[in-house]
Structure 1
Amino acid sequence: MKNYIACLILGLVILEGCQSKAEETSKEDAPQKTTLVNAVAKETEVQKVTNDAAAILAKKEVPILCYHNIKNFDASAGPMTKVYSVKPANFATQMKALSDAGYHSILPDQLYEYLVHDAPLPEKPVMITFDDTRGEQFSIGAAEMNKYGFKGVFFVMTVSINRPNYLTSDEIKKLSDDGHVVAAHTWDHHMVTKYTGDDWNTQLVKPKKKLEDITGKPVTYFAYPFGLWNKEAIPKIKESGYDMAFILSTKRDSIDPLYTIRRIIVSGTWSTEGMMRSIESSFDK
């Protein structure tokens, strides 16, 4: 019995010694492991691609659709109404067609990472955007996209918020909370090519702040009214805190392509098949 107890005590002493040795070894190895992890992280950070303007322009463009009004109109409607308005039934058909064709909606953050850092995109990406703050973009547009898991970008001109037939502050907040992106479209839709003096603050800075106050999120994307831009506007847009700016279907700037991202207006005169063909023909690089 005494021998048994002696052996048991000896075993416990040896076990304790092994545990102490293991703990000491672990403590000695910890700094080396931390150093290795930091080195790998640093190497990964160093290897992250940052594309210049030429590399961005060389990348395949992502189709970006631009909607304005979603409302019914008849044959007597003027040409501007017919171009800038898509009937609700047609909008629904177009969203279904995109889904059936295997398109996946993406948002500006994803586009930025793809263009600048070569981040991957889903197969057949498309961006769905809305200009001018119309109320049916929430009641019809977002509701229809939700059926297919699509998320969109809503470019808001802040002068219209809470006016009849326009988006309310609550709707804008709801869109943001639901995963859509709320972005700026100036205060009152004056073209940036005409700005002087305090116009930049009125049209770029203040709307950004107002939308951030509503959504509680940074607003870092901007769409030019009428799609019109000039080189003089780009530095002002950068200074105002925007990371990308969106035009329509004109040529991109060779120096600042991130501030001339192309979109196409979806015309109310197009059939769904015509809209799908336009995606391919307009962004066929």
Structure 2
Amino acid sequence: MKTYPNYLLFFLLLLFFSCRSESAKEGAKTALQEDVNTAENSKDTEENLKDTAKLALANAKTILLRKEVPVLCYHQIRDWKASDSQRAHDDIIPPANFREHIKMLADSGYHTILPDELYDYLNYGKKLPAKPIMITFDDTDLDQYTVGASELKKNGFKGVFFIMTVSIGRPKYMSKAQIKELSDAGHVIASHTWNHKNFAQFTDEDWEIQIDKPTQTLEKLTGKKVQYFAYPYGVFKAANLHKLKEHGFKAAFILSTPMDEVNPIYTIRRVIDPGRYTAKNLYNSLQKSFNKKKTVALTLGK
């Protein structure tokens, strides 16, 4: 029988080195493409940083002159009790009324926005969707999760939940898991102090107790930065507004009263949706309250 050892060996060696050569070429090609992608990504990042650097924060006068975006505030969503005062009928909205109001907003073409969008609009003039509105909830009440978030979801809306951290896990209040679920679903979790202490009465110690520790609690819970704040009772102290920025907040929300002329970004106006309102009442109120012609004193910004 004939054998061809030399030819066979030569053929195998040729095949081996040919494969190695092709593999090396592919490896080099892949490495080159990765380098190109890295360079392009780096370039994109640099361009984004340049774009951001070009944007200067608006001054108070500019912010005050921008058209106000409606911001609604809700507390308890439950049926009224015989023991509730007439005043409570504003702060407490029955579930049926809440559902009608949210549906009216959706049917009327409103689009919910979140704090980052509002911040960018006020500071940089960034475009918002048609008929923007923000929906906020204070105090961590459980019905805000069971009724509030459920109705928002049905209508494709997102909301902002201002959490009073002392209440987390207590009866009739949200649990840690529920707050985390809201955050994961795209809602914004924000701060409403530890135990609802009046901001105007803060002592030096309260900045840690009422501000820093609640922020740490919520950031640990959600895994996200907490950068927005709502004043208990809507009450603020103008002399202390600058401290909110020092403690990591980008903006803060009040109730009803006009924005502060020096620090408007830390006094964004909200209005309570009264429980006694019909959906039509709410619609008309929004048109009247947030479509006023803006005027600002000429001394502003000097």
- For Structure 1 versus Structure 2, the TM-score category normalised by the shorter chain is 0.7 to 0.9
- The structural deviation recorded for 1:42 is 7.8
1:110 paired residue among 93, 104, 117 = 117
Q: Secondary structure at the match of 1:232?
A: helix
Identical columns (%): 46
Paired residue type of 1:214:
L
Asked if structure 2 preserves the Cα contact closer than 8 Å seen for 1:49 and 1:118, the reply is no
Other-structure match for 1:50: 57
The change in CA–CA distance for 1:154 and 1:40 in structure 2 (over 3 A counts) is closer
- 1:163 and 1:180 map into 2 onto residues whose CA distance is 21
Q: Which residue of 2 aligns with 1:15?
A: none
1:127 aligns with 2:134: yes
1:216-268 CA-to-partner distances (Å, cap 9, x unmatched) read 00000000000000112212211111000000110211111000000001111
Compute the displacement of 1:73 (Å): 1.1
Partner SS for 2:133: strand
Corresponding residue number in structure 2 for 1:27: none
- Within 1, Cα distance between the matches of 2:166 and 2:72? 24
State the match for 1:145 in structure 2.
152
The answer to whether 1:156 aligns with 2:168 is no
- Structure-to-structure mapping, 1:144-223, within 5 angstroms: 144-223=151-230
Query: Quick one: which amino acid aligns to residue 172 of structure 2?
Result: N
DSSP 3-state at the match of 1:130: strand
Q: Which runs of 5+ in 1 are unaligned?
A: 1-29
Q: CA deviation at 1:80?
A: 3.2
Cα distance in 2 between the residues matched to 1:47 and 1:242: 22
User: Deviating runs (4+, > 4 A) in structure 1?
Assistant: 36-47
Query: SS in structure 2 opposite 1:66?
Result: strand
State how far apart, in whole Å, the 2-side matches of 1:136 and 1:40 are. Answer: 45
Find the residue that maps to 1:175 and give its secondary structure: helix
Among 241, 256, 278, the alignment partner of 1:249 is 256
Partner Cα separation in structure 2 for residue 45 and residue 211 of structure 1: 27
2:273 corresponds to: 266
1: distance between equivalents of 2:98 and 2:48? 46
Cα offsets for 1:46-76 (capped at 9, x unmatched): 6535311110110000000000000011566
Over 3 Å counting, the alpha-carbon distance change for 1:206 and 1:42 in structure 2 is closer
After the TM superposition, which of the residue ranges 225-234 and 56-65 deviates more from structure 2? 225-234
CA shift digits 1:156-214 (9 cap, x unpaired): 00000000000110000000000000000000001011111201110111111100010
TM (normalized to structure 1)?
0.84
Shift of 1:81: 2.3
Tell me: CA distance 1:180–1:46, structure 2 relative to 1, closer, same or farther (3 Å).
Answer: closer
Give me the whole-angstrom Cα distance separating, in 1, the residues matched to 2:181 and 2:45: 40
Note the aligned Cα RMSD (angstroms).
Answer: 2.1
Q: Quote the Cα distance in structure 1 between the aligned partners of 2:47 and 2:211.
A: 41
Query: How many angstroms apart in 1 are the aligned matches of 2:97 and 2:89?
Result: 13
Partner of 1:237: 244
Q: Distance in 2 between matches of 1:38 and 1:154?
A: 32
Contact 1:224 1:245 in 2 (8 A): yes
Between the aligned partners of 2:235 and 2:51, the Cα distance in structure 1 is 39
